[in-house]
């Protein structure tokens, strides 16, 4: 079976560009950060079961960063697929990672280079966000909560972010998954859990 995997980082992002005009037997999609190791994602676990059952003939992705934003994780995911004889088809490159059951040195080099670029891109995004926060603080636009102020549990749980976190807690997502999806700290998730 040809499996197409797509991933977006947030719930409100649309992944249709990743599977438009592509032929596949099954579409599997995750909405989570690329920083989450591939097989720790909700559908990464499902794919692992499919790999174990020999039900995947080829694994298709739009671009290499759909596998992850960490070179190490990308290479580990590829290793699992390759050990099970499953070629990865990377659409935007027109590249298949296994040819006659072997990975070429050129393919390995291209994937490693793109994985490194993806990792750098993620780090640059993080740096830009932190710079923006610092500039906002200097301009008085990013103040945060005043020191010594307290928020009631009811008010905290009524916040949109808290409601979203509660939804994912109820669905059984892990703290790590929730922090990536909702874009919050693990402490915020723990605080919501404690208040429920």
- Phi/psi at 145 (5° precision): -80, 145
More confident: 72 or 150: 72
What are the Cα distances from residue 164, in Å, to 7, 114, 116? 20, 33, 32
Q: Would you state the pLDDT for residue 14?
A: 75
Domains and CATH numbers, the chain: 2-114 (3.40.50.1390), 153-195 (no CATH)
Question: What would the pLDDT profile of 122-172 be if each residue is shown by its tens digit?
Answer: 888 889 988 988 888 888 876 666 777 778 888 888 888 999 999 999 988
Q: Would you state the pLDDT for residue 10?
A: 78
Q: What DSSP string runs through 77-144?
A: HHHHHHHTT-PEEEGGGTEESEETTEE-HHHHHHHHHHHHHHHHHHHHHHHHHHHHHHHHHHTTS---
Distance CA 3, CA 179 (A): 27
CB 43 within 8 A of CB 28: yes
Question: What would the pLDDT profile of 20-62 be if each residue is shown by its tens digit?
Answer: 767 889 999 988 888 888 898 889 888 988 998 888 999 999 9
pTM (whole model) above 0.95 = no
């Amino acid at each position: 079976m040809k499996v197409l995997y797509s991933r977006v980082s947030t719930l409100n992002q649309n992944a249709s560009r990743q599977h438009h005009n592509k032929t596949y037997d099954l579409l599997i999609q995750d909405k989570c950060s690329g920083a989450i190791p591939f097989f720790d994602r909700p559908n990464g676990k499902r794919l692992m079961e499919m790999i174990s059952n020999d039900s995947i003939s080829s694994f298709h992705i739009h671009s290499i960063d759909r596998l992850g934003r960490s070179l190490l994780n990308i290479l580990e995911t590829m290793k699992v697929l390759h050990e099970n004889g499953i070629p990865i088809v990377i659409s935007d490159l027109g590249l298949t990672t296994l040819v006659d059951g072997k990975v070429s040195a050129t393919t390995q080099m291209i994937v490693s280079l793109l994985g490194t670029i993806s990792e750098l891109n993620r780090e640059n995004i993080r740096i830009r966000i932190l710079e923006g926060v610092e500039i906002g603080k200097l301009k008085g636009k990013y103040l945060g909560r005043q020191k010594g102020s307290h928020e009631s549990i009811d008010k905290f749980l009524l916040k949109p972010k808290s409601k979203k976190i509660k939804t994912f807690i109820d669905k059984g997502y892990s703290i790590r998954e929730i922090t990536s999806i909702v874009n919050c700290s693990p402490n915020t998730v723990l605080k919501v859990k404690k208040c429920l």
